Amino acid sequence: MPACRTSFSSPICPSYLLPHGTSLQPKELAQHHCLGFNFRRSLDGWPFHGPASRRRWLQATQGNVLASNGTILRQLCLDGAGLVRVGQFLVQPDLDAGQCSSPGTRKTWS
């Protein structure tokens, strides 16, 4: 049994969208800077599932920055360095303050 469970969020900040475009479909992540963790993950990509189909898949990502700390990745995202997938608890205050938006607290994008 896990010690705790958390939802994940992929916040989208205007400082990244303005120069990189607003089209953000999971299949397009390879064309964006995805900020990631520099330690071995149990998943090799970001997990998604379709809203209607319930089909699940891992979308490969690539990026220009790796870090060992979710707080650092959060700040880089707010600064417009790229997209990130981190625990909801890290970015909820930013979402509430309107500093970024979210395609949802989820594994589901459109």
Homologous superfamily (CATH) for 8-96: Periplasmic binding protein-like II (3.40.190.10)
The SS3 call for residue 4 is coil
- pTM, two decimals, is 0.79
Residue spans per domain, the chain? 8-96
Q: How confident is the model at residue 69 (pLDDT cuts 50, 70, 90)?
A: very high
To the nearest 10 degrees (0 to 180), the angle between helices 88-96 and 70-78 is: 30
Query: What does the pLDDT read at residue 107?
Result: 39
Give the integer Cα–Cα distance in Å for 51 and 67. 30
- The pLDDT of 80-107, averaged and rounded, is 83
